[in-house]
Chains A and B, each alone.
Chain A
Amino acid sequence: MTEIALELKNVSKRIKNKEIIKDVSFQIKQGEVFGFVGPNGAGKTTTIRMMVGLMKMTEGDIRIVGKSIQTDYSAAIREVGAIVENPEMYPFLTGRKNLEQFARMIPGISKERIEEVARLVGLEKVINDRAGGYSLGMRQRLGIAQALLHKPSILILDEPTNGLDPSGMKEIRQYIRTLAEKEKVSVIVSSHLLSEIELMCDRIGVIKNGALIAVEDVEKNRKLQDSDISEYIISVSNAQAAKECLHDMDDSLFVETADETTLKTAIKREQIPAVLKELLNNNINVYEVLAAKGTLEDKFFDLIGENVIE
């Protein structure tokens, strides 16, 4: 049985009688990368703040490797490394001096560990420069370095790829995957960019208006997409005629007209040539065939609907 790294049990947060977080529960296994998505203002950051004890919850409990953040704070937070919102640092200190500051706050971090972490995130060249002069990408790296210093079991990263260029994003993604797979670190990544999250997470929790409305398994979703039948959108000269023609060919086919020139159908990939041949043979012109993959993005928008902040 895999160990539970982090567990939220019926966590609620009320501020002045307004329920910000509503009864959120989920578990994260060791070595798992968990994505936390939701529109702005949905409660991602509030939930993360409660996980690290910056905010107190009104009800429920959060356990980190079995230790309650409320009653056993020191032991619980020892297992956590985090960036909350922005990668913060002392601008007047060098990268190294910043890391030394954070190293002193937790007993047992050696000088070598500081070097090791700096190398790990690719900061060794600028480690002796003032952090105030760092680019956003370098600041993100320093933030991650700071969070990793004490070898935590859980890494909480709030918007870690925010402000990074595509190559930087890719690097961070690969880095997060490596951490999870090699060091068995559980990672929680929050973002409002689903496509970003999809690329690096094992599971995704969708939060809306303070409630966790779905937990999706990315791997399972991917398999589902590759399964036999997919949806295709076909642009034709006459959708109605095309629909009848395809029904004549095989009346078990799912065919539907979207508008006068657009046809929706769910078929196997191998069937495409036959379908097209049938249409062309019946003098129906075909202009375009598109695979309408039911991506997570669509699912996400189905789930959250419009971005309404109640």
Chain B
Amino acid sequence: MSNLSQLIKNEFIKLHHYKSTWVMYIIIAILLIGVAVITNFVANQSMIIDATFQSELVQAYESMGLEIPAYDMWAFVADNISLISFITIFIIVAAAKIISNEYKWGTIKLLLIRPAGRGTVLTSKYITVLLFAAVLILYTIILSMLIGLIFFGVDTWNPTIVDNTGSGYTEISIIASIGKNILFSLVPLIIVATLSFMIAILFKGSAMAIAASIVVFIAAPIITMMVSQYEIAKYLLTAHLDLQNIFAGSPLIEGISPGFSIAVLIVYYIIFMAIGWLTFKKRDVAGN
């Protein structure tokens, strides 16, 4: 067990020696500051409120006798949760590189001739990828809270908003709403990161893994639409990545329930993991 934590430490050290990793942190910071500046100086408040609060939502507020909240730090954080899509792409790259770089440098041989065993080595890499995702998300949240605080201030520390939870509009805590959105973005993140990880193991390179995973992630609606007339579309991974809409009752394919989506995602996840792990454990490591 301590061996696994040592291996994860190794992976984190390597990961944070890549320039591209620091570029990821910087890009997120620049995006957050950019969004804050644009929101604060260019766009005016009522415009944002008009864009976010469609008439339906405004009615919901009015019917509950609540005031439409001003744009503050919480609203800023809630808006920036969409940056997790960005982070997902970074994680796809990190998951592919963490495998392919070892093959590129030939260090895979040195990693595998240790008492830890192949399974532990691969597990440490996978856990590192997930931890890195957690770090990036946490970084985004903390940074956007700070920036939000500076630019927009804060009214209360636990405000409530009205949101569509799938079964109509209800009043919920904004923190719960943010948490729910993070969870909905985290699931596709983990699935495509695992896909990228698996393809990188299969091909010992990152190009195919990154390309395929990004296509699956970004073009999911298009791919699903292209095959939507066939029954099989229902079982396609791409039909189940937008959990937000699936739980809100408007899936890409008619008649998909949240339960069915989760089941399909779990099956895909298990397949990706099994292929990746078995290939890595069984394969002869020969010259590149």
Contacts and interface: CB of A to CB of B under 8 A. Distances in A.
A25 B281 CA distance: 26
A74 B106 contact: no
A90 B285 contact: no
Interface stretch (A53-61, A263-271, A287-295): A53-61
B31 interface: no
Interface in A41-83: 45, 49, 52-56, 73-75, 77-78, 80, 82
Given A54-B285, A85-B287, A105 B114 contact: yes
Contacts of B9: 104
A127 B2 CA distance: 27
Interface stretch (B11-19, B215-223, B247-255): B11-19
Given A77-B113, A84-B113, A92 B107 contact: no
A88 B117 CA distance: 19
Interface in A116-134: none
Contact of B115 (A54, A56, A106): A106
B23 interface: no
Nearest to B108: A88
Nearest to B111: A105
A89 interface: yes
A144 B287 CA distance: 20
Contacts of A102: 110
A6 B107 CA distance: 24
Contacts of A101: 10, 13-14
A89 B106 CA distance: 8
A101 B16 CA distance: 14
A88 B105 contact: yes
Residues of A in contact with B, size category: 20 to 34
B6 interface: yes
Given A85-B109, A105-B10, 14 more contacts: A54-B113, A55-B286, A74-B115, A74-B116, A82-B113, A84-B113, A85-B106, A86-B106, A88-B106, A88-B110, A90-B105, A101-B13, A105-B116, A107-B2
Contacts of B116: 74, 105
The CB with the most chain A CB atoms within 10 A, among B7, B10, B113, is that of B113
A49 B107 contact: no
A92 B17 contact: yes
B107 A88 contact: yes
A105 B117 contact: no
A11 B2 CA distance: 35
Taking residues whose C-beta sits less than 8 angstroms from the other chain, chain B's interface range is: 20 to 34
Contacts of A85: 106, 109, 287
8 contacts: A55-B286, A75-B115, A78-B115, A85-B106, A97-B13, A102-B110, A105-B114, A107-B3
Contacts, number: 77
Contacts of B284: 49, 54-56
Contacts of A163: none
Contacts of B106: 85-86, 88
A80 B110 CA distance: 11
B6 to A, nearest CB: 4
B112 A53 contact: yes
A93 interface: yes
A93 B10 CA distance: 12
A87 B55 CA distance: 66
B113 A80 contact: yes
Contacts of B110: 88-89, 102, 146
Nearest to B284: A55
Interface in B1-37: 2-3, 6-7, 9-10, 13-14, 17-18
A184 B103 CA distance: 33
Contacts of A82: 113
A56 B106 CA distance: 19
Contact of A49 (B2, B114, B117, B285): B285
A224 B225 CA distance: 82
B14 to A, nearest CB: 6
Contacts of A84: 109, 113
Interface in B22-57: none
Given A49-B285, A54-B112, A77-B113, A89 B10 contact: no
Given A49-B284, A49-B286, A91 B105 contact: yes
B287 to A, nearest CB: 7
Contact of B109 (A88, A90, A91): A88
Contacts of B107: 88-90
A84 to B, nearest CB: 5
A41 to B, nearest CB: 12
Contacts of A78: 115
Contacts of A49: 284-286
B14 A90 contact: yes
B170 to A, nearest CB: 50
Contacts of B6: 104-105, 107
B115 A77 contact: yes
A153 B55 CA distance: 76
A97 B117 CA distance: 22
B209 to A, nearest CB: 21
Contacts of B113: 52-54, 77, 80, 82, 84
Nearest to A74: B115
A154 to B, nearest CB: 12
A102 B10 CA distance: 9
